[in-house]
Structure 1
Amino acid sequence: MYRNKISTNNLKQLILAICIFALSWSNVHADEGMWIPTLLEKYNMEDLQKLGFKLSAEDIFSVNHASLKDAVVLFGTGCTGEVISSEGLVLTNHHCGYASIQALSSVEHNYLKQGYWAKGRDQELSANGLKVRFLERMEDVTKKIVSGMDGLNEEVQKDTIQARIQRVVAAEAPNKFREAVVKPILYGNQYFLYVYKVYRDIRLVGAPPSSIGKFGGDTDNWVWPRHTGDFSIFRIYSKPDGSPSDYDENNIPLETKTHLKIKLGDLKPDEPTMVMGYPGTTQLYLPSQAIHMYQDISFPTRISIRDIKLSTWKHFMDNDQKVEIQYASKYAHTANGWKKWQGAILGLSRYDAIQRKKEQEKAFNQWVSQDPNKMKMYGTILSDFDSLYEDFYELDRRNIYYQEVIERGSDIFQLAKTMNNFVRDKDKGEVVDIDAIQKKVALFFKDYNADVDCAVLTKLLNYYFENLTFERKSKYFHHLENSLRKDQFKKRYYDRSFLSDKQKVLDFIANYKRSDRIRLKKDPIFHLKGELDQDYIFNYFFDYQRVNNHIQMNQKLYVKALKEMNGDRRFKVDANLTMRIAYGKVEGYSPKDGVVYEAFTTLKGVYQKSQTDIADYQAPAKLISLYKDKNYGDYANSKGEMPVAFCASNHTTGGNSGSPVLNRDGYLIGVNFDRCWDGTMSDLMFDPTYCRNIILDIRYVLFVIDKFADAPHLIEEMDIVR
């Protein structure tokens, strides 16, 4: 056999390569990785027990009886929440509920600024459009999706997989209140089915003012030490029989299958912590070329474009309270990524991420080179990445400009897209819910200001044309650039567009007939969006898709090879907005020489920050009074301090916002809400020295509800272990 012919020297090299690989890719640190809950018994329980957890795999995830997974929900479109009472009370982050709170706010009732607390069930406010999803079951359906693919070309494989996914989903009879989704893991080497029960009658119960819920604002975003009371509370309502429905005044609070118990008492360094939730996206197995692209091209490009958008918004928001409310959620969402990418660049650079990836790739090549069969299958993977990314760098940059300027650059472009879809569906003879479309448009104009939007789009388009080279420019683009230069953009586009007028848009929808398509096509804003779309699609999009598809196929093969190289050892699976478990411990860190951060913050820090002139540190007078009087109720620690937040070494990402943080017994001790800026590169590479998740201490949540909001009836509803 071939292995008998390996020389002693080659054997030593192979063993060294595998050891390097294991140290680089496998789970050296128990705090690294986001684990699939159905596989805990097989891969993770030994580590959990060593850390001190007293839970069994069935306690965490079970299909046969109530378990922790039944108290954890997918909240909205991309957050996590946890059930904290038997009557459907759900706790999540303030920033996860932010859009709903903003939608319920007005100048007269500014719940973002002032907060809101329902004193009874009749005061709980319907959060229109918000939904929560309970995971009912998950199933490995890989064989149903990928069997019999050998010999099929790339396009046929792709089409076949999509058709099979649709059949698997259809077999679950999905509807408005039951969702089924098949998601790939390991870049399509494996597939899982997830089935959810969906509740759509969700009501706002309580939220602190932004001076607590967003304390620290952009100044402290992605930063430790942190003093933000980042939480909000909602309630799930159902039909009397417990089944989900849309809002109905006859609905009752959901009688939940289970709920989390809340633990009071001191936390100490090195105590084990577990995060359950729905992490969004990680990409832990990218090659060095991709890390270079993100660090040196993609992230800097996005940051520079969002600089323009954020500064323009802020100018208007600082001078108009109505605009401040209208754009609060948009600003927060845009700023979140903008600052995270800055931290990721610093982290990747400090971690020498590109060189580390190259070392891993050297070990991979060494492993491959020892076997002719592996050389045949995997021998060109890394060289293929070289040529593919060389073609992809500029295509990716142009795609980012299109995404950030055209697709997400302005509000009115979003409306143009909505109107295009409406006209397309009507002209196809499809059934269109006119009432739903009009409600969507009404919500759009509630948070729209034409002057603000025009100012943003003017600056973004100028930047677009200044920083991209064009092989050709149509006469239309020359006229557009001329309008931008002569400060006539608003007059020629916004002022002449019926899309800027709420009533005209509503009338267009209500009275639409096929001949009205011409009116929409000739609308200057709609026409502008179409011209920009066509320029990108015809000149770059297909090349982008072609190269990206080849990269993804190569990435799939690379991950398959890495998993094979990993052998029987556990293999981290990238996040994809499905339920995962992460575990670590309470611990601080040292971001730079001479600086050591402890793992805990207290209300004293809120007071200290409030004494500065920084606008983001304005704290409510009542909160400061409670601090000065030491009026902490039962929620102080053993030192008599009021805990606010702590950090730990759990591997988290976007989507984990609002996730419950549990102790060794599975009791709720905190609510995950952020990561440390020094470790935001953990979506691409996890550095155990710097990567920390930031957690709101549950005692601060209870203190704010009880002592600040005077809402003890909510405390009485919870199951508290003292």
Structure 2
Amino acid sequence: MKRRNLLLSAILFPAVMAFAQQYGGMWIPTELNEKEMKDLGMKISAKQIFDPSKPSIKDAVVQFNGGCTAEIISPQGLLLTNHHCGYGQIQKHSSVENDYLSDGFWAKNQNGELPNPGVTVDFIADIKEVTNEVLAGTQNLDAKAAQELISKNLETVKAGFKLESWQKVAIKPMYYGNKYYAYIIETYKDIRLVGAPPQSIGKFGSDTDNWVWPRHTGDFSMFRIYADKDNKPAEYSKDNIPYKPKYFLPVSIKDKQENDFTFVFGFPGRTTEYLPAIAVEKIMTETDPAMISVREVALKTLDEKMRTDAETRIKYASKYASVANYWKKWIGEVEGLKKSDAVSKKKNYEQNLIAKNAQIKPTIDELNRLYTEQAPYNLNKAYYSEVLRNAETLTLANFYYNFVKAVESGKMDAKTAENFKARLAAIYKDYDAVLDAKVTAKLLALYANKTPKQFLPAGFEQYKDENQNLKTIEELSKNSVMTGRGALNGATTYSDLNKVFADQNALVQNLKKDPLMKLFSKLREHYIATTDAKVTSYQQQIDALQKKFMAQQMETDKDRKFFPDANSTLRVTYGQVKGSNPRDAVYYGYQTHIAGIMEKYIPGDYEFDVPKKLIQLYNAKDYGIYKDKTGDVPVNFTATNHTTGGNSGSPALDAYGNLVGLNFDRQWEGTMSDINYDPRFSRNIMVDTKYILFVIDKYADAKWLINEMKIVK
């Protein structure tokens, strides 16, 4: 694919920049690092961000459908989140006649907004630390007894909260169980689709640009919260009315400057910032490379067919993107850990801690021993899990294997059977047995060649040759229940899974004789016998020691202000608008524009096509109030905010708490920030509010939505 990158130029730029920001951080909003935030330029107070007693910014931030983040941007409950967060709902409302994925969707008024049964948003009404109550009485107990008492204490603490009928409480461990926090949650259940750009805007760049900067993606969609007449949560009803929020975010269209303060408010998923050096080293040199190598083989095999066959390309597009997503992320993570010298940095930090507190040395020594002894088992787990996930023939075998076990143990009730059928149907829908035979043959060869003999079933060395594997799998598939008895001519799905499951006992007997099932069973049972329990046993010891190590770090390093790792709870992260210098003589500017979209434009391409109307607006330079000082409309920008999965859709706010962007990705060179945040390389990527409003106003002609908002000019 030939296209020009925007702002990729060799210019004079220091290889190492000086940053006031050191550790990043995903801060509990009741425990913000307010001093550093103000040193970096914040003009509001921490209380204005989170105050349970009166309206504050937290009342405009919600967890969207259990995974992403969204924010309220009008006094009528208008929600903004990412296009990829709302993608499932946009897809469900789409049809051949109304292809909202390709064409976009914009309600003409509130009556045209579309309901989404099952979609929820969660507000956090309050956060309370409950460490003393949860850990009461556990001080002198062994790990097992302590955990049993903690479980009992958790139920007691939960029961002690006085809640409204529409509230619930969730208690989450922080700092590896050294602290606990209670979250009072209010869930709204009537969420309606308001608007979404076509995927040629919302997914512009798709897989090629994923994790990459420069970026030109309008990754946003819009929903609205509805409530009952008392503004309380309610199931969908035509009588419900738009929710009246306690607080909504003003939307700024002011120009951005490098070093402007920003903060991101949302629900980041998972980070591991406090691992010992040995753990980071194993991730960087063993488990990540193993997982990368498996996906590399799978992706290459799929790509060869997808490039020459349009039907396969369409069938496998979503699947390929899913596999490529973390493959690309792990490659960036390894490169970033090496470039930021993460292992040496961790080792030096550990030695500094030991110099201050000699009791930390036995902890580090024991962690080193445990990780070293766990390593071969963990590496085998990485290979096995990825082979199983990416060879769909083995994925199917795993499903059927679990089905057999459930039937034989008496756990296969009607509901469980329906779930099995639904999940199998989803796999068969886009399953090509001929193509996957090639993937499976290659991945079995990789596994047989990479895995030490102790982890291979007897006789498994025969699978070291991928060409022979393909012949074997094709032969086994001809008589396999799973691939449809001789269905390698392309008829790889059952027309009616209900018939297959009608006689469960007969199916079980057929599966037990199935040649592919025998192959998989041999592989799985040897893995369980040699690896699974070992990984778990070591991990339990590591987790207990990590809790101790975390406590020792916090007790010893008095100069460092600690934040807990992300765990899908509400957090604040902050930084400054900045470009980056990821490699020698390469500098990326902090902002992209519509001109960059046109530089990447490839007519008819599924990733880089551009809607005709957007081209017209570009040619006419019909930008209205949304252009910046360059005369163009800014599309995306980067900053040093410490984000991760779950921050998708999070509001990016300026020094005064105005919405300036919508978080949707990270820069590839800084994806190691889940493990080791480094302000030199870690960049989050956001959609500029100017572009969002430009698309709503000029492209979609949905000015009625603009009129709801408070625009800061």
Question: Does TM-score exceed 0.5, indicating one fold?
Answer: yes
Per the alignment, residue 537 of structure 1 pairs with 528
Using the aligned pairs only, state the percent identity: 39
Could you tell me how far apart the structure 2 residues matched to 1:195 and 1:669 are?
A: 28
Could you tell me how far apart the structure 1 residues matched to 2:675 and 2:620 are?
A: 46
2:382 maps to a residue whose letter is I
Q: Tell whether 2:145 aligns with 1:145.
A: no
Q: How is 1:688-703 mapped onto 2 (pairs within 5 angstroms)? A: 688-703=679-694
Could you tell me how far apart the structure 2 residues matched to 1:235 and 1:475 are?
A: 58
Per the alignment, residue 284 of structure 1 pairs with 273
Q: How is 1:601-680 mapped onto 2 (pairs within 5 angstroms)? A: 601-610=592-601, 616-680=607-671
1:209 alignment partner, one of 198, 214, 217: 198
Per-residue CA deviation, residues 37-91 of structure 1 (Å, 9 max, x unaligned), is 0113xxx223333333232222211222222112111123432111222333221
* Greater CA drift, 98-107 or 438-447: 438-447
* Greater CA drift, 136-145 or 457-466: 457-466
1:595 alignment partner, one of 586, 594, 598: 586
Q: Tell whether 2:695 aligns with 1:704.
A: yes
Asked if 1 retains the 8 angstrom alpha-carbon contact of 2:194 and 2:223, the reply is yes
State the TM-score, normalized to the length of structure 2. Answer: 0.85
2:479 maps to a residue whose letter is R
1:703 maps to a residue whose letter is F
Q: How is 1:146-165 mapped onto 2 (pairs within 5 angstroms)? A: 146-165=135-154
Residues 213 and 304 from structure 1, CA distance in 2 versus in 1: closer, same or farther, beyond 3 angstroms?
A: same
Question: Tell me, which stretches of 5 or more residues in structure 1 are unaligned?
Answer: 1-26, 370-374
SS at match of 1:701: helix
User: Cα RMSD between the aligned structures?
Assistant: 3.6
Per the alignment, residue 33 of structure 1 pairs with 25
Could you tell me how far apart the structure 2 residues matched to 1:69 and 1:340 are?
A: 30
Q: How is 1:350-499 mapped onto 2 (pairs within 5 angstroms)? A: 350-369=339-358, 375=359, 378-407=360-389, 409-410=391-392, 412=396, 416=400, 419=403, 427-428=410-411, 432=415, 456-471=439-454, 484-486=470-472, 487-493=474-480, 494-496=482-484
Distance apart, 1:587 and its partner CA: 1.6
Distance apart, 1:134 and its partner CA: 1.8
Q: Tell whether 2:708 aligns with 1:721.
A: no
Could you tell me how far apart the structure 1 residues matched to 2:93 and 2:416 are?
A: 23
Distance apart, 1:631 and its partner CA: 0.7
Q: Tell whether 2:170 aligns with 1:184.
A: no
Per the alignment, residue 253 of structure 2 pairs with 264
Per the alignment, residue 98 of structure 1 pairs with 87
Residues 164 and 693 from structure 1, CA distance in 2 versus in 1: closer, same or farther, beyond 3 angstroms?
A: same
Distance apart, 1:276 and its partner CA: 0.3
1:495 maps to a residue whose letter is T
Residues 523 and 480 from structure 1, CA distance in 2 versus in 1: closer, same or farther, beyond 3 angstroms?
A: farther
Residues 641 and 116 from structure 1, CA distance in 2 versus in 1: closer, same or farther, beyond 3 angstroms?
A: same
Could you tell me how far apart the structure 1 residues matched to 2:158 and 2:503 are?
A: 35
Could you tell me how far apart the structure 2 residues matched to 1:76 and 1:526 are?
A: 37
1:546 alignment partner, one of 517, 537, 543: 537
Distance apart, 1:307 and its partner CA: 1.6
Q: Tell whether 2:336 aligns with 1:347.
A: yes
Could you tell me how far apart the structure 2 residues matched to 1:592 and 1:326 are?
A: 37
SS at match of 1:576: coil
Distance apart, 1:694 and its partner CA: 1.3
Distance apart, 1:604 and its partner CA: 1.2
1:412 maps to a residue whose letter is L
Could you tell me how far apart the structure 1 residues matched to 2:337 and 2:79 are?
A: 36
Could you tell me how far apart the structure 2 residues matched to 1:535 and 1:174 are?
A: 50
Distance apart, 1:710 and its partner CA: 2.5
Could you tell me how far apart the structure 2 residues matched to 1:579 and 1:652 are?
A: 12
SS at match of 1:281: coil
Q: How is 1:56-135 mapped onto 2 (pairs within 5 angstroms)? A: 56-105=45-94, 109-127=98-116, 129-135=118-124
SS at match of 1:63: coil
Could you tell me how far apart the structure 2 residues matched to 1:626 and 1:419 are?
A: 56
Residues 146 and 421 from structure 1, CA distance in 2 versus in 1: closer, same or farther, beyond 3 angstroms?
A: farther
Could you tell me how far apart the structure 2 residues matched to 1:420 and 1:637 are?
A: 62
1:334 maps to a residue whose letter is V
* Greater CA drift, 496-505 or 268-277: 496-505
2:571 alignment partner, one of 553, 565, 580: 580
Distance apart, 1:168 and its partner CA: 4.3
Distance apart, 1:249 and its partner CA: 5.2
2:591 maps to a residue whose letter is F
Could you tell me how far apart the structure 1 residues matched to 2:517 and 2:156 are?
A: 37
2:452 maps to a residue whose letter is T
Distance apart, 1:302 and its partner CA: 1.2
Asked if 1 retains the 8 angstrom alpha-carbon contact of 2:20 and 2:40, the reply is no
Per the alignment, residue 5 of structure 1 pairs with none
Could you tell me how far apart the structure 1 residues matched to 2:424 and 2:521 are?
A: 20
